Amino acid sequence: MTAIPDIPLNDGTTIPQLGFGVFQVDDEGAHSAVATAIDAGYRLIDTARVYRNERGTGRAIAECGVARDELYVTTKVWNSDQGFDETLRAFDASMDRLGLARLDLYLIHWPVPSRDRYVDTFRALVRLREEGRLRSVGVSNFQPDHLRRVIDDTGVTPVLNQVEVHPYLQQPDLLEVHRQLGVVTEAWSPLGQGKGLLDDPALARIAARHGVSPAQVVLRWHLDRGCVAIPKSVTPSRIVENLDVFGFELTDADASEIGELDRGERVGPDPDRFTGE
């Protein structure tokens, strides 16, 4: 079985560098995909309240036969639940659906700057960590000014920022800010949702040179950049394929060829404007 490296976080804990996401999968689909993923060797599972599949995800975790402390489970507080008390309640509800006593990582899903509640929301995450219900506190879709504000106002640095990153949206400036702040980058839609990106001729050429798939090339590239990546698939063969990225190495020439693919092109919403409502 593939050994997935653990990478250190700024609170003294670690996270598996490659994980499994369940966005756009219904509850029953998540149950079966997460079961397949854990069986294949994934240990990091990424869900969210808004995905409406915390119950199926939790059932797969309960049934998988892998010890709870070997798994790393993430969920996220949704935009309409932001605020200190609201977040504490949303956390309880997520934990009920997941069937877990303790969570590894809780993220603020989007900053929603227009509502300006993300600092209070982050304070609730810190409270949950102090109470021992949560191992680590993090954020998602935060821009540098949002990150700096939560750090300045609370004195706590999120362990990671889960943001859209893939070869068509490489975000070098944001990754540099993360490096300076000691925040790990976790790449969402690491495969660009499969659309177009995985048909890119440059990726096809690199993949052919190594005898692997374009998806494997892209995942290896994320890991080489020091990011955590959480690809999603509901197809068992792809779930296994996306984990099999440790048997080859990209060359410097491969990496610079991928570097040239950056178009600054998002598949998801703009974090400065998205309200989710």
What does the binding site for ligand NAD look like in residue numbers (CB under 6 A)? Answer: 21-23, 46, 109, 140-141, 162, 188-194, 198, 213, 215, 230-233, 238, 241-242, 268
**Cβ-contact 126, 158 below 8 angstroms:** no
For residue 137, count CB atoms less than 10 angstroms from its CB and return exposed for 0-12, middle for 13-18, buried for 19 or more: buried
**Cβ-contact 2, 244 below 8 angstroms:** yes
- As a whole number of angstroms, the distance between CA 223 and CA 226 comes to 5
Please state the closest distance from residue 106 (CB atom) to ligand NAD, in A. 12
Residue closer to ligand NAD (CB basis): 118 or 188? 188
Residue closer to ligand NAD (CB basis): 124 or 165? 165
Please state the closest distance from residue 194 (CB atom) to ligand NAD, in A. 3
CA dist 86 → 60, 114, 122, 141, 252 (Å) = 27, 17, 12, 20, 48
- As a whole number of angstroms, the distance between CA 151 and CA 17 comes to 24
Active site residue 51: yes
Residue closer to ligand NAD (CB basis): 77 or 95? 77
The residue of the chain with the least Cβ separation from ligand NAD equals 21
Please state the closest distance from residue 55 (CB atom) to ligand NAD, in A. 16
Give the three-state DSSP class for 184: strand
Residue closer to ligand NAD (CB basis): 41 or 192? 192
Token pair for residue 160? Answer: 């990671």
Please state the closest distance from residue 132 (CB atom) to ligand NAD, in A. 25
Catalytic entry in 51, 72, 118, 168: 51
**Could you give the residue numbers annotated as active site?**
51
